[in-house]
Structure 1
Amino acid sequence: MDTAQRLHPDVGQRLPLVGFHPRNDDGLDVPVAYNAGVSVKDKQWSQEFRLASPTGGFFDYVVGAYYFGSDLDNKSFSYYGPKADIWNGTPTGALANVSTLGKGHIDTNSFALFAQGTWHLTPKLDFTAGLRGTYEEKSASVERNAPVGGVAVTGAAATARRARVGAYDSGGLNQYSTSPSGLLNLSYHFNDNLLGYATLSHGEKSGGVNLTVGSAPTAGVDSLLIGAERANNAELGLKSTLWDRRLQLNANLFWTQVNGYQTTAYDDATRAQYLTNAGSVRSRGVEFESTLIPVRGLTLNVNGSYNDVRYLSYKDAPCPPEVSLRPGAPASCDLSGHQVVGASKWIGNVNGEYKWDLNDGLEEYVTASYAYRSKAVGTVEDSAYAQIPGYAVVNLSTGLRGDFHQGQWDVSLWLKNAFDKTYYTTLWSAGNGGYEGLLGSPRTLGVTGRYDF
């Protein structure tokens, strides 16, 4: 991503109304839950004004202003079956045949001013500096209706019902934030084929509000709020074009520290996923990418990275179930030094395409790709039972393309996951110390036709 893209988004972006209406049962062969999920409706709008200088002089600049607005509503729902109490560990009658409905709303208004300039200090040396200031305000509310259904209960069952599905109203929730971001970049053209650069940058992601009740009735309304995430980054890299422009090699070293890292956690008491701040995180490593054209018609791409991502400090983290379900378990665990969820240390990709011309302007091609990811932590609490093993996937295709009027048509036969590798793409926490996940697509054969005009 170039430095300008890091400072400001596209001009006049218009985002439509987005809706999501899930239907999810519990996947069990006993009647624990018939349906659960969160239905979302989101309206977004944005506008940007930008003034850019002519290029080619000693100093180039761009200045501007940006506005983003959002109006989001959601409905969270759960319909429990007659065996719900056995699965949820609640007293008999607390959740059996009970349904609950909650709703959340949040309005967001974000305003930003930005400026970026590049000084061409010498024919080979450029210095770029940029600054962006963002002010954001959010107003939200979270409610849950009284539960419907079930039988009348008292004592422990009544207490459990109120905690898990009882009526709740957060009242008005407001969040205001001012977030600066900026960068400094120095680039040097050693020659026409080799560029070196060094970058320092600071960026911030605003906080937010969890729009489902979760543990708020017992943990307090402040548990619905998420703090801002702040990142400092340093990069040192090279970009090169070699072998008569038939080989491109790019590589960089990077170091990033994130404070107030935002991630998803799981509350076993309420069986709810929620967004939270997970202390500070450090990411450091190396990336490279290359493109080679060894012979006419053949293009090879190789890229990869080593990325060591760990919590520098996360002393009040949720405990994995092998700890939290033991008698006398601590309320929280110290995950400082642990690998961050979802981050593979090693990633590698190899892609190749060979194409050749036929008669009448037709072009035939074959492609192959190999993608590898090393093992990763599956959930934030870093349980020994929630690890995603490393995996590699091979995709193949062949096709024919040609020109038609002012456009181009393309018909391809493809085979995804050619060796039918079974692998997880993501995991998440579930009840009773269990985990659920999504499997990657199995071996799939298909045909695609397209016309670009």
Structure 2
Amino acid sequence: RAAPGGLTPRGPTNTAATRFYRGGGGGGARGAAGRHRKVNLDDDQKVTVFQGGTSLEANWTLDNDFTLTSISSYRWWDFTPRNDDGLDVPATYNAGVSVQDKQYSQEFRLASPTGGFFDYVLGAYYFGSNLDNKSFAFYGPQADVWNGTPTGALANVSSVGKGHIKTDSFALFGQGTWHLTPRLDFTAGIRGTYEEKSAWVNRSAPVGGAAVSGAAAAVRQGRAGAYDSGDLNQYSTSPSGLLNLSYRFTDDLLGYATLSHGEKSGGVNLAVGTAPVAGADSLLIGTERANNAELGFKSTLWDRRLQLNANLFWTQVNGYQTNAYDDANRVQYLTNAGSVRSRGVEFDSTLVPLRGLTLNLNGSFNDVRYLAYKDAPCAPEVALQPGAPAACDLSGHQVVGASKWIANANGQYQWDLDNGLQPYVTASYAFRSRAVGTVEDSDFAQIPSYAVVNLSTGLRGDAGGGQWDVSLWLKNAFDKTYYTTLWSAANGGYEGLLGTPRTLGVTGRYDF
């Protein structure tokens, strides 16, 4: 985890509690904060994860060659973090959210025989989830200096909140393909989903700290005071649909056009945040709805030694769901960020120029912008100024996390030895252009463009009815320092995850 970088916090900056690791040239992702992989830690930092799951698929061939499929699955996830505040002084000893989640699903599908004028699939699906979380913050003696709160408001205070959400989702779906001519196919599909969510969020009274009154007491109550949301319920009905027309111009060239609509259900923020002031309804997130159009082709050329696929796409998302940061309460939360438009082109190719050599090249251009986001959070360089507005208009801005240009190139050469062994060498190049790091599009939260090169060499062979493979690999061969993601932190700072540094390793495997 990278130490906070970016803007210097407002307020007293000469005290120990406001010193934090800064990068040069503005800090954050644009500076050198991560170059030497240094952080300021004065307490433990770790994450514990226990997870598992199982699934069972059964298929029955019925009369007239119909196929009935059943897929049952169960998965559990237990996540417990311990997060230092990134400072070398005791502002916060530990803060985070632990999660325990259990998920289960059941699907039934009936597929018709293929080869006739019309074939189809019908099905039903159920998904259930029970999720509990615990949000916690254990403040140290310097908490008020770092948080800019009145003396005694948060110092040596502990705050614990709990949340629970139960989800039941039911869906019916069907998709059919009409083979109108030997070369022309028309496909239509529809899905209807009904979902129920029931939840609650509460926070216990704060523990510890000195007796306070006035402004300090008000801040403690707002940031760490007891709260109970009561029962929260959300019901949604979400239709989805697909229309596709495909035409095989030749045996090696297929063209297609697709129109589709999809929806992502809403949810509940299981952290108290601003709910004591804004009301429990502020914890609810609305449904995300997407409309998509695509025009493309798939081809096999050069005596089947070249596969080349490409498409143009246009997508508009209304009620776009993304993460934002509440600086007043120092919590991340999910929100609906207006409407978003994504449009561009992508391609994928595989070439076998000679025996044993395979080359892959793929890439995309994707222009993703907010069409309308007028009540967006403001960047720190705006929000921390005197008289700053309560919200900013990000309409027309690039959407968080979306690189405009992406390119990947991969190559592998393998050959056979007389004794049945197969040596090989591989190389890959991955490029990502600049991306916005956080939703408010701060100048100090941009992820610069980067490229990573990976190399490997190995040897394969057959033994005991299976195949063994031993490889020597080098990831990030040129030791590029780059951020994979950023998120907002206190006092206009940003934190992020660095990509894997140059790493040399050996892998052995046996498949049977």
The alpha-carbon deviation at position 406 of structure 1 amounts to 2.7
Q: CA-to-partner distance for each residue in 1:332-362, whole Å, 9 max, x for gaps?
A: 0000000000000000000000001123321
The alpha-carbon deviation at position 220 of structure 1 amounts to 1.3
Task: Tell me the equivalent position of 2:14.
Answer: none
Residues 123 and 180 of structure 1: CA distance in aligned 2, closer, same or farther (over 3 Å): same
Counterparts of 1:7-26 in structure 2 under 5 Å?
11-26=70-85
Q: Partners in 1 of 2:72 and 2:472 — Cα distance?
A: 35
Task: Tell me the equivalent position of 2:125.
Answer: 66
Task: Tell me the equivalent position of 2:351.
Answer: 292
Q: Partners in 2 of 1:390 and 1:356 — Cα distance?
A: 36
The alpha-carbon deviation at position 170 of structure 1 amounts to 0.3
Task: Tell me the equivalent position of 1:41.
Answer: 100
**Corresponding residue SS for 1:312:** strand
For residue 361 of structure 2, the aligned residue among 298, 302, 306 is: 302
For residue 372 of structure 1, the aligned residue among 431, 434, 448 is: 431
Q: Partners in 2 of 1:136 and 1:436 — Cα distance?
A: 35
Task: Tell me the equivalent position of 1:91.
Answer: 150
Counterparts of 1:246-265 in structure 2 under 5 Å?
246-265=305-324
Q: CA-to-partner distance for each residue in 1:365-385, whole Å, 9 max, x for gaps?
A: 100000000000000000011
**Corresponding residue SS for 1:323:** helix
The alpha-carbon deviation at position 268 of structure 1 amounts to 0.6
What TM-score, normalized to structure 1? 0.97
Task: Tell me the equivalent position of 2:226.
Answer: 167
Write the letter of the residue equivalent to 2:122: V
Instruction: Verify: 1:100 aligned to 2:159, yes or no.
Output: yes
**Corresponding residue SS for 1:337:** coil
**Corresponding residue SS for 2:276:** helix
**Corresponding residue SS for 2:145:** helix
Q: How many percent of aligned residue pairs carry the same amino acid?
A: 82
Q: Partners in 1 of 2:126 and 2:502 — Cα distance?
A: 44
Q: Partners in 1 of 2:266 and 2:392 — Cα distance?
A: 24
Write the letter of the residue equivalent to 1:96: A
Instruction: Verify: 1:450 aligned to 2:509, yes or no.
Output: yes
Alignment: residue pair count: 444
For residue 224 of structure 1, the aligned residue among 279, 283, 287 is: 283
The alpha-carbon deviation at position 11 of structure 1 amounts to 4.9
Instruction: Verify: 1:235 aligned to 2:278, yes or no.
Output: no
The alpha-carbon deviation at position 452 of structure 1 amounts to 1.6
Residues 319 and 11 of structure 1: CA distance in aligned 2, closer, same or farther (over 3 Å): farther
Write the letter of the residue equivalent to 1:198: A
**Corresponding residue SS for 2:419:** helix
Write the letter of the residue equivalent to 1:412: S
For residue 116 of structure 1, the aligned residue among 175, 182, 185 is: 175
Q: Partners in 2 of 1:75 and 1:262 — Cα distance?
A: 23
Residues 135 and 164 of structure 1: CA distance in aligned 2, closer, same or farther (over 3 Å): same
Q: CA-to-partner distance for each residue in 1:150-182, whole Å, 9 max, x for gaps?
A: 111100000000000111100000000000000
Task: Tell me the equivalent position of 2:63.
Answer: none
The alpha-carbon deviation at position 219 of structure 1 amounts to 1.6
Counterparts of 1:258-273 in structure 2 under 5 Å?
258-273=317-332
More contact order relative to length (CA 8 Å, sep ≥ 6): 2
Write the letter of the residue equivalent to 1:366: V
Instruction: Verify: 1:157 aligned to 2:228, yes or no.
Output: no
Task: Tell me the equivalent position of 1:395.
Answer: 454
Q: Partners in 2 of 1:107 and 1:237 — Cα distance?
A: 41
Task: Tell me the equivalent position of 1:75.
Answer: 134
**Corresponding residue SS for 2:71:** coil
The alpha-carbon deviation at position 13 of structure 1 amounts to 4.2
Write the letter of the residue equivalent to 1:242: L
Q: Partners in 1 of 2:460 and 2:273 — Cα distance?
A: 53
Q: Partners in 1 of 2:279 and 2:463 — Cα distance?
A: 64
Q: Partners in 2 of 1:231 and 1:75 — Cα distance?
A: 32
Query: Structure 1 residue runs of 4+, over 6 Å off?
Result: none
Task: Tell me the equivalent position of 1:354.
Answer: 413
Q: CA-to-partner distance for each residue in 1:58-113, whole Å, 9 max, x for gaps?
A: 00000010000000001111111100001111101111011111111000000000
Write the letter of the residue equivalent to 1:294: P
**Corresponding residue SS for 1:163:** helix
Instruction: Give the root-mean-square deviation of aligned CA atoms.
Output: 0.8
